[in-house]
């Protein structure tokens, strides 16, 4: 699973989704 915002790769979808929240926290 890869972050749409910065391209960082994650093994679990849950980890990726939790990481993506750091990008959209201000939206």
Structure-token pair, residue 14: 């849950």
Query: How much is the pLDDT for 27?
Result: 65
What are the structural domain ranges in the chain?
Answer: 1-27
Query: How much is the pLDDT for 17?
Result: 96
User: Is pTM, for the whole model, over 0.85?
Assistant: no
d(CA 24, CA 11): 20
Query: How much is the pLDDT for 15?
Result: 98
Q: Residue-wise pLDDT tens for the chain (27 aa)?
A: 999 999 999 999 999 999 999 998 876
Buried b (16+ CB within 10 A) or exposed e, 13-24: eeebeeebeeee
Contact 19, 8 (CB under 8 A): yes
């Amino acid at each position: 699973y890869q972050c749409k915002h910065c391209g960082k790769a994650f093994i679990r979808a849950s980890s990726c989704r939790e990481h993506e929240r750091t990008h959209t926290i201000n939206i």
